[in-house]
Structures are given as C-alpha cells and as structure tokens.
Structure 1
Amino acid sequence: MRHDRRLTEDVEDKYQHRYLDALFIVVSCVVSVPFYTGFLPLLFWSGHCKLARLMTLLLTFCDFVGNSIKFSADDISQDVVSAPRPSSPPVKRITFTEDEIANAMEYGLPSSHTLNTVCLSGFLMHYVLSYNQINNPTSKLIGIAIVCISVGLVGFARISLGMHSLIDIIGGLVLGLAILSFWLSVHTHIDTFIVSGQNVSTFWALLSFLLLFTYPTPELPTPSFEYSTSFNGVALGIVTGVQQTYSQFHHENVARIFTPQLRLPLFIGRMLVGIPTILLVKFCSKGVAKWTLPIIANALGIPVKSKSYIPSLNALETGRKPGEAKQSGYLHKMLFFTSQDSFNVDTGIRLIQYAGLAWSVVDLVPSIFSYLSL
C-alpha cells in the first residue's frame, strides 16, 4: 500500500514537472528572437509603423550589446566575462528547438531573454501609455505590474530550463534597465532622423559595416555573431525602406487594424500575401548574394572563405598549401581590419539576405498591398 502511494506521488510529480516545463517552454518561445522576427512584420502591416520600427531597432541594439558583453575579445580582455551557462549535468537543461540548442552553445551572462523582455515590454508599456495619453497613476501601476510579472516569469523559466543561473538573470535585468533608460531618452531623436534626416541610408549602411567589424571575437565559437549579423541586416533594411517610403506607407495617419479602414479579414489577407512574399525575397536575396559577393571580392583582390553557404570556397581554402595565399589587392591592404588572411563571405550573405527581407516588409509588400487594395 505504501509502495503504491509512493509510486502514485512519483507519477504526479513527473506530470507536474512536465506541465511546468511545457509552460516555461512556451514562455521562452514567446519572448525569443524568432518570435519577434515573425511578430514585427505583422506589427508593421497592422498600421503601428512607428512602434514596429522602434521595437525593431531596440531589439537590434539589445542583441548587439547583450551578446557583445557575454564574451570579450581575445586580444583585449580574454576571460573577463565569458561566463558559462550552468553545467549540465548536474543541472537538467531542456532544449526544445534548434535555436535553443544553438543558444546553449553561448555564454550565459547576461540572460538575453531577460534583457529583451525588460526592454521590449518596458518600451511597449511606455509607448502605449504615451500614445493614448494615459496619465492615470492606477493605469501606470498596472502596466508596471504586468511588465514585472512578465520579466519575473521569463527569468524563472530560464532558470528552470537550465539555461541560466540567478546571476545571469540579474545581469540581464540590470543591463536591460540601463538600455531601456537610454532608449527612452533617445528614441524620439532616432526616429526623427530616420524619417526626415539627410543621407540616412548611407549613414546606416556605414554603421552596419562598422558594427560587423567591431563585434568582439569570442573565446570559443558561438552562434551569437550570426544572430547579430541578421538583426544588423534587418535594421539596415528597415531604415532604408522606411526612409524611402515614409510618406506613402509609414506616416502616422495610415490605416490601423480593427478600424473601418483595416478590418480583421483585410489584415488576414495582408498576412496571406505578405508572409510568402518576404520569404521569397529572403531566398532570392540569399541566392543573389551567394553569386555576386565572391565575384566582387575577387575583383577587389579580397580573399574570401565560406563555412556554410558556399562549400566550394571552403574546399579551396582548406586545400590550399602553406604559402599559396592569394595575392591581396590594394583595397584589402588599405583597410584597417586586414589582420585576417581571408574573410568569411557568409557574413555578407547573411547581412544582405536579412536586409532584403526587412526591406520587403516595409517597402515591397506595402506596395503590393496598395496595388491589391489590401
């Protein structure tokens, strides 16, 4: 009898853990980078263009700063940060998607999920209260409570799933509050520059390349640079597209969802047209970049390699004998980042494909909506 009772309790505990794990997995997915990647285009197409572009740039900023702090450059301050995730075992780590498996390869401090939740939920609350001119202290208190509950739930979920320690969560919280405070003081000036500034696209293109080459090199290989490159490209595409089409598709008087001008069936039609279009543009951008970048690099005398996108370049790189390095062109010799023998063309391909995807979200797809009267 006692044995049966113990067995029943063990089974109940097991199922309780399953339910909790499932809840925490859902929470982690809802605040993950892939979720934001899919959610932000819908925010643009729903008519909340200013909120969408500011949240996109904020997420890009959070991703760059957070992942840069997770590790330090080998030649500057190696092992100053580089805090590993909790050891598994003894901690049980639950990785439920390919993205989480990749995330587990990164360092832990600070927690990116916590940092992003603090910044994006905090900015969303600020935007909603400001846009609707809500000055009621009770409403503000409710908004702050919702943000605190969201951040606490995300932090507890990341600890429970074995992805972070308490120190990682606290680090993400502190850094997130610092970034949010900074963003709230500058976001209006940044948005004004994007929609009405001079030489915006040129400036942002130069900034994107600067961020690529100033990103720190981790002690051990991690996928964080790929994520940063992707969002760097997204920011470039968003800024370029919005700057060119602001008066047509992104001003403050565009139709918004749940209004007579943009009812729910019409918005569903936008999704059915827009999502396949941006995926097609991403595929085509990747193909064009894979074909053109090696040719351009060869013409400029810049040696390139590829780890994943162009296997033939990798084969040439690994098959080259010592002393057979390709002669560098003048451009390669003049640039300040020429300490490498060759450059990974995958970075440029990733930047272009995500810039193309983001540009299509704010320029090409709204043009199609206008043509189809969506």
Structure 2
Amino acid sequence: MESITTGWHWQVISLCGIALWIMISSKLKVTQKLRSCTQPWIYQRVISGTAIIIKIQKYQHRCLDAFCSGLSCIVSVPFYTAFLPLLFWTGHCKLARQMTLLMAFCDYTGNCIKDVVSAPRPRSPPVRRVTATKDEEDNAMEYGLPSSHTLITVCLSGYLLHYILDYTESNDLSIRVAGIILASLVVGLIGFGRIYLGMHSLIDIIGGLALGLGILAVWFSVSEYIDNFVVSGQNVVSFWAALCFLLLFAYPTPEVPTPSFEYHTAFNGVSFGIVIGIHLTFHQFHHEDVARVFSPQLTLPAFVRRLLLGIPTILLVKFCSKALAKWILPIISNTLGIPVRSTSYIPTLNGTDKKSDVLKQSGYLQKMFSKQTSFDVDTGIRLLQYAGLAWSVVDLVPSMFFHIGL
C-alpha cells in the first residue's frame, strides 16, 4: 500500500496505458467491432423480452406507477448528486468519498458499455413507457444495456451495507443476513420497477446486476488503496487531472448520440473536485475524528444549520463556476488557436458544421483522430462546473462550518 501512496511509476504507467489504449482502439476500430459482435445477440434478447414486459404491465395501476417512478427517482443520479454532499457534512467522510468515487466509476463503466453495445430499449409501443420526470425522459434517450439504476443500486447498497457492518463492528450473523436480504430486496424492486415502467428489458437488468456485483467485488479489493492515495498520496491533483482528461478521450463513440457522455462528464468533474478538496483539507475537515451527526459535538439542530448554510453556498458556486468556465475557456482556446463551438451553453459559438453536430457526443475518442473543425467547449464547461461544485462541498463549505463553529 505504501507504493501506491508514495510511488509515481504506477501513475505514469497507468496514464500511458490509457493513452495507448485510446490510440490502438481508434486505429483498430475496437468499439465498432465489439458492437458488431454483441449488438445482434442483445437485440434479439430485447425483442424476446418484450412479451415479459407486456405480461407485467397487464397489472398496471396508477399506485404502482407512482411507486415504481418514486423508486427510480430515489436511486437516480440527481438524487445521489444531492444526497452525497449531505453525507459529507454528517461527518461520515470516508463513506461519502468512497460512495462518490464508486458512483463515478459505475457511471463511467456502465455508460461506456451502453454506448459500445448501443442496444435499444424496449420498443414503445407495444410496451408502455412511463416517464414521470424530466430525468426519466432523458434516461429514455440512452441505450438500454446495462440498467444504470440496477448497477448503481447494487454497488451503493452493497458498499453501504459493508460500511454499516464495519462501523458498528457487528458480528451477529442474523444482522448480516438481514442486511443482505434488505439490500437484495431493494435491488429486486428497482429491477422490477425498471421493467414495469417499460424502461428496460430483462437482459438489461441482468446485465446491470452482473456488472454491479463485479464492480463491487473489485471495489472491495482496491477501495483502501484508492482512499489512501487520495488522502495522502503524491501528485494526486496532477494525476487525477490527467486521468479525467484522458477518460474524456477514452469514452467510446455510440451509434447515435445520447446523453450518456454528458452524465459521465458531470461525474468526472465531481470526482475531480472531491479528490482535490479531500487531498488538500483531509487533516482539517475529513479525518476519522471529526464530529458526526447525532453526537454531542454535532447535534441535529447544528446539522440543520449546516444544511441551511451549505446548500445555498454550493448552488452559488455551481452557478459561478459555470459562468467563469463559459468566460475563460473560449479565451484560452482562442489564445491557443483551438477552434471551438458550443452546442448549448454559448449561443454565439453555435456553429453550423454538420459533421460536428453529428459528433456532439463522441466521447472525444473520434475527435482526436477525426478531421472535424472544432471542439465542443460545453464538455469543458460542464467538467469545471461540477468540479467547482464538488470542491465547495468538501473544502469551501467545511471551512465556513469551522469558522462559525458548526
């Protein structure tokens, strides 16, 4: 573990490995070849699974619609984006940073597979698709395999259970079994709900479950190494900045543009901001001896005051970081002679290059080796916006708590 936190050789090797993969996969068209091998088989499973969805939806009821839609909102990316900052401020800092990085890893891996395979969701009609929120409407624009809701639920509920059992030092077998049963029930309800809402086929749920269990097993093996590196490693900020940059280019190009790359970019920025803030302020605000909610040092009223101060602050930082990025990135690009365009954030940079419009969400992989005339500056704006938001959660806001005695 010491070599992970003090050595730099593995950092150079890993970054060079990703860069080499970007070049090789682009030249050999790895994404297209994988898609041609997997998509027909998945497509047949989606078609054959339509009958199962229709049978389940025969029992449709408005209460069941509301229940399944509510479950989907509870485990959605916007929910966790709001929930994780609160977790940092409760004093359970290790749990918060582990779950944040784990979710970023799940989001990247799941969306990469979605866009590599480019497998369709169940066709509607004949399937009845229920999209009760704007977030669900955006989700419906993504590809289906694997189910992100199932994947994220498996990983986060599994890690949360592991943390609770470790934190309480419970060795009672009945408690462990009850925890596993409860987590399995939540995962099962989420999977059933995604099928009932017409958002996923059975193969998508199975894929999300299998991938989630695999990622969770890997995370249990490497989480302590990653945590020690973030907390006390060398070259943490520079390494993570390079990693975030390369991951943008390593993202695969989907068959048709979807919002998946935008979601990844946002969580890429979140992970970067969290890592920077934790690394710089760990000994001040995020060590294991900080006050935790419901303790005499952090009572419930004090925690509520933290929320009243913290939430407006991070929203203000999110707005300011977006405005600053919109102003400074075009200036830097022009100074460096890099042609840029904006598809949504800066109307004056909205070009008419048809090829660029088609490549709006290409994961930057194709952008590196294509002859397109400009880069979408919105990616950088989104990355910096969410990095600023995450940094404020773990650095700026805890500093405010400290100075006013919360």
Which of 41, 44, 57 is equivalent to 2:101? 57
Aligned counterpart, 1:108: 144
Q: Report the alpha carbon displacement of residue 130 of structure 1 after superposing the two structures with TM.
A: 1.4
Aligned counterpart, 1:344: 376
2:249/2:368 contact within 8 Å kept: no
2:292 maps to 1:260: no
Distance across 2 between alignment mates of 1:15 and 1:176: 29
Which of 156, 177, 198 is equivalent to 2:234? 198
Render the CA deviation track for 1:214-264: whole Å, top value 9, x for unaligned. 111111110010000000000000000000000000000000000000011
- Change in Cα spacing, 1:294 to 1:349, as seen in structure 2 (3 Å) is same
Aligned counterpart, 2:259: 223
Higher mean alpha-carbon deviation, 338-347 vs 178-187, is at 338-347
2:194 maps to 1:158: yes
Aligned counterpart, 2:53: none
Distance across 2 between alignment mates of 1:18 and 1:262: 42
Q: Report the alpha carbon displacement of residue 171 of structure 1 after superposing the two structures with TM.
A: 0.5
Q: Report the alpha carbon displacement of residue 193 of structure 1 after superposing the two structures with TM.
A: 0.4
- Change in Cα spacing, 1:299 to 1:161, as seen in structure 2 (3 Å) is same
Distance across 2 between alignment mates of 1:85 and 1:36: 24
Aligned counterpart, 1:304: 340
Which of 65, 71, 85 is equivalent to 1:41? 85
Distance across 1 between alignment mates of 2:137 and 2:90: 33
Amino acid at match of 2:341: K
Aligned counterpart, 2:120: 84
Amino acid at match of 1:359: W
2:352 maps to 1:318: yes
Tell me how many residue pairs correspond in the alignment. 338
2:363 maps to 1:363: no
Render the CA deviation track for 1:155-184: whole Å, top value 9, x for unaligned. 000001110011100000000000000001
Distance across 2 between alignment mates of 1:98 and 1:246: 37
Amino acid at match of 2:247: L
Distance across 1 between alignment mates of 2:329 and 2:306: 33
Aligned counterpart, 1:4: none
Amino acid at match of 2:344: S
Aligned counterpart, 1:283: 319
Q: Secondary structure at the match of 2:352?
A: helix
Aligned counterpart, 1:274: 310
Distance across 1 between alignment mates of 2:312 and 2:291: 22
Aligned counterpart, 1:246: 282
- Change in Cα spacing, 1:140 to 1:22, as seen in structure 2 (3 Å) is same
Aligned counterpart, 2:156: 120
Amino acid at match of 1:35: F
Which of 66, 83, 100 is equivalent to 2:110? 66
Q: Which has the larger radius of gyration?
A: 1
Distance across 2 between alignment mates of 1:338 and 1:51: 42
Unaligned runs of 5+ in 2: 1-56, 355-366
Aligned counterpart, 1:26: 70
2:175 maps to 1:143: no
Aligned counterpart, 1:95: 131
Distance across 2 between alignment mates of 1:88 and 1:153: 22
- Change in Cα spacing, 1:203 to 1:339, as seen in structure 2 (3 Å) is farther
2:162 maps to 1:129: no
Distance across 1 between alignment mates of 2:294 and 2:228: 27
Distance across 1 between alignment mates of 2:316 and 2:281: 21
1:213/1:337 contact within 8 Å kept: no
Distance across 1 between alignment mates of 2:210 and 2:368: 34
Q: Report the alpha carbon displacement of residue 341 of structure 1 after superposing the two structures with TM.
A: 2.0
Q: Report the alpha carbon displacement of residue 82 of structure 1 after superposing the two structures with TM.
A: 1.2
2:385 maps to 1:353: yes
Q: Report the alpha carbon displacement of residue 301 of structure 1 after superposing the two structures with TM.
A: 1.0
Amino acid at match of 1:191: D
Distance across 2 between alignment mates of 1:17 and 1:356: 43
Aligned structure 1 segments of 4 or more residues deviating by more than 6 angstroms? 13-16
Distance across 1 between alignment mates of 2:345 and 2:198: 32
- Change in Cα spacing, 1:302 to 1:19, as seen in structure 2 (3 Å) is same
**With structure 2 as the length reference, what TM-score do the two structures score?**
0.81
Distance across 1 between alignment mates of 2:353 and 2:101: 41
Identity across the alignment (%): 68
Render the CA deviation track for 1:315-350: whole Å, top value 9, x for unaligned. xx2289xxxxxxxxxxxxxx9556432110000000
Amino acid at match of 1:372: I
Distance across 2 between alignment mates of 1:150 and 1:341: 47
- Change in Cα spacing, 1:146 to 1:15, as seen in structure 2 (3 Å) is closer
Q: Secondary structure at the match of 2:119?
A: coil
Amino acid at match of 2:352: T
Distance across 2 between alignment mates of 1:253 and 1:117: 29
Amino acid at match of 2:379: T
Q: Secondary structure at the match of 1:58?
A: helix
